[in-house]
Structure 1
Amino acid sequence: MIPLSALPTPALLVDLDRLERNILAMAGAMRAAGVALRPHVKTSKCWEVARRQLDAGAIGFTCSTAAEVAWLQSHGVADLLWAHIPIGHRKVSFVVDAVAQHGGGLTVSLDSVEAARPLSAAAAAAGVTVPFVLEVNTGHARLGVEPATAVATAGALAALPGLRLRGVLTHEGHVSAAPDRPSLERAGTAAGTLLVSVAADLRAAGHEVEVVSVGSTPGATSTPFVPGVTESRAGTYVYFDANQTRVGSCTLEQCAQTVLARVASVQRAGRPIIDAGSKAMSSDAIALAGSFGLVLDRPGVTFADANEEHGFLLDDGPVPLAVGDLVRLVPNHACTTTNMWSHLYAVRGDLAVERWDISARY
């Protein structure tokens, strides 16, 4: 065990008490709703965190990258969803090999015949069948077919050799743009309702639909509770972050991930400089709201700006920060912050009790 004051800074910390409460709370909520939980592993990229999620009842994981898929398969996790359209020879070959070697435990996402044809050809040539879900746009407009074209696209995809339709998927990321929490909840319910209706249309057209998958932490209190949804892919909940506090998904007291930094300079009054910048926090601008993160336990202190290795605070607090003082910062976006680091310190109270590796980074 190491006192936080003895750690090199900057350092990525995860509060174990908060982490474990977050994991159990989401698992309990999805269990009560009768919905499977398939967390997005990109938030932690950490086996010690993933193992706790599995122990709490997660059926498997959602992945963003081939590296995440390979890493989890190396740990024996059989049920994985790669929420990514495999484009290009390398990704297509990876999917076919992964399905062949692990008994079909990998499902991919598709939204067009053009993207599916190379995968179909490679799977058929290898004598394997790749399970897929049809991604549907329910408002976020990132990937996904429009609901009106879902049946036609599903039919064309299902007719290709080497592919098997399992169901439908959406990412209701647009709900975070709602002006208030009640509006966000309504948007989440609307997204789930639309996806369930697409699933019903597919079944009416003769397709088997076993999976109706939704996924976002802001939508986790609404979208998975629509009757007919079968699984939730929320990910950020495991740590939460400053963005999630801003949209009302959590309180600051639930945020498990922080960056530990020290004050390096106070040459200009009211503007302390810390030794953590954009490379420690990431520069994610999803909901910056005028800051690079939130400062814990320092009323009146704002993380206003950052260079790569330095952070610029605005200090209007009752006790001015001094050189050498420690500050703990809640990042705006936990997932992109994780990807900046090779390891983290698991913390209880003011002690770092373990050091955990972060894997499958870019």
Structure 2
Amino acid sequence: MIDLSEIEASQVDARTKGMPGEIASLPLSAIGAQGWNVLREDLPLPLAVMRESAIRHNGDWMRQFLKATGAEIAPHGKTTMSPQLFARQIEDGAWAITIGSVEQLQVARRYGFPRMLLANQAVGAQNQRYVVNELKRDPEFDFYCFVDSVDLVHQLSSAVQEAGLERPLQVILEGGFVGGRTGCRTYEEGMDVARAVKAAAPHLSLRGVGGYEGLLRVPSAEESTKRVETFLNGLIEMALGCDREGLFGAGDVLLTAGGTVFYDLVTARFKEAPLSRDFKIVTRCGCYLTHDSGEYVKRFEQIRERSPWVDRFGPGPQAALEVWAYVQSRPEKTKAILTVGRRDISFDSAMPTPLKWLRPSPGATVADLQPIGPDHVVTGLNDQHCHLAIPEDSPLRVGDMVAFGISHPCTTFDKWQVICMVDDAYNVTSAIRTFF
């Protein structure tokens, strides 16, 4: 049973990044009752916030997509590492939560999430012991992990036997590609692993085939599509081979792939898989919930071009995550320095995008927000400073507030222990905690 009460009761105070310096300790659940408003400067900047309306819109949009495709979603929890957002995704209908490490699994299990998919290899004695002991402790825990080698199959089987687990550890055969990350590179390698899993019964059970196609992106959208479809065909071929040889265990076969770039291709191709038994399509895109103002804007336009039918769901995902900062210096005519840096905001995919600005004043509201044009460009970040190229006639001056959109939400989330949720007037309504 999912129980977030420990998180809601956890304390925040002036030591918590993003919290006002004068507050005493208060529970996370009380943040929404403080009457804070970002535009009134009730909180210090830099400050990461999530817009509640965009989160709600994105959840509704994905729910429509899944209904239309017949797929399930196990959103990747590594994006946010926030059990409160995991719970929201489960309430929206997510089949499971995906994680990328056993450390992330430990966080999710602390709060009672009942079905988890480790889209990675569980290697190492401590990690394997934790998994099998958790399965033994909780008979209702439904867990799946990837395997891509006979060696790992033997290790997992031994861990199950040593723990005395009386039900099989459910594994998914992972297919990969040359130059990629994990995953069997050839059909023959994959079938050897699948047969090893079958031979390890009743300690292991092969429940499906999966992989990750996101690294097949190249500058050409057409070539990217071709490479992804070829990879998906290879996964289906492995699944058909396992089906023919009777290697799958009991239950629906799982076909799983799909980051936040090609989930339309994944669901369409998997739907056509000619398996002889029932199967479930599970996409694992994690960034849909918050979207962004950079990388995934471009990628969603490619989805619309490939699959124009998604337009019937209305406007696509919206950017929910923003990071606000002050202009702290205008040391040169065409340069401003702002109070946000690598410790606060994503920069691995692209530099932040200035979205809008505000000159603080008593009673400031969203009506006072002004757009920032494309002639204001982030040229670099230091730990605590942002270098912004500006035109000589830029209206920005010291003390002004600037909201930045981000590219690739994962690496903004991991810089904040607490992130405030805001309504469309930038009133703080609640907060989430992350566990990185």
- Which structure is larger by alpha-carbon Rg, 1 or 2? 2
Cα separation, 2, equivalents of 1:256 and 1:235? 14
Cα separation, 1, equivalents of 2:82 and 2:93? 17
SS in 2 for 1:236: coil
297-306 vs 113-122, which moves further: 113-122
Match of 1:214 in 2: 257
Cα separation, 1, equivalents of 2:296 and 2:325? 22
Deviation at 1:175, TM superposition (A): 4.0
Q: Which runs of 4+ in 1 moved over 6 A?
A: 250-253
Match of 2:142 in 1: 105
Q: Aligned residues, how many?
A: 355
Change (3 A) 1:269 1:158: farther
Change (3 A) 1:317 1:19: farther
- 2:413 matches 1:338: yes
Change (3 A) 1:317 1:105: farther
Cα separation, 2, equivalents of 1:347 and 1:136? 41
| Residue in structure 2 matching 1:293, options 345, 352, 368 | 352
Matches within 5 A, 1:25-64: 25-64=61-100
Give the unaligned 5+ runs of structure 1: none
Change (3 A) 1:136 1:331: same
Write the deviation string for residues 226-275 of structure 1: whole angstroms up to 9, x where unpaired.
12361111111111122112334589981111111111111112211111
Change (3 A) 1:346 1:59: same
241-250 vs 103-112, which moves further: 241-250
CA contact 2:422–2:428 (8 Å) conserved in 1: yes
What CA RMSD, in Å, does the superposition of the two structures yield over aligned residues?
2.2
SS in 1 for 2:394: coil
Amino acid at match of 1:167: G
186-195 vs 88-97, which moves further: 186-195
Amino acid at match of 1:173: G
CA contact 1:140–1:174 (8 Å) conserved in 2: no
User: Percent of aligned positions with the same letter in both sequences?
Assistant: 23
CA contact 1:301–1:317 (8 Å) conserved in 2: no
Cα separation, 2, equivalents of 1:313 and 1:201? 55
| Residue in structure 2 matching 1:135, options 167, 171, 174 | 174
SS in 2 for 1:199: helix
Cα separation, 2, equivalents of 1:346 and 1:139? 42
Cα separation, 2, equivalents of 1:98 and 1:16? 34
| Residue in structure 2 matching 1:155, options 195, 207, 211 | 195
- 2:261 matches 1:224: no
148-157 vs 134-143, which moves further: 134-143
SS in 2 for 1:332: coil
- 2:292 matches 1:258: no
SS in 2 for 1:57: coil
127-136 vs 96-105, which moves further: 96-105
Amino acid at match of 1:133: I
Matches within 5 A, 1:274-353: 274-284=338-348, 287-288=349-350, 292-297=351-356, 298-299=372-373, 300-316=375-391, 319-353=394-428
13-22 vs 153-162, which moves further: 153-162
Match of 2:114 in 1: 78
TM-score (normalised: structure 1):
0.91
CA contact 1:67–1:360 (8 Å) conserved in 2: no
Write the deviation string for residues 82-113 of structure 1: whole angstroms up to 9, x where unpaired.
11211212211111122112324121111112
Deviation at 1:358, TM superposition (A): 2.6
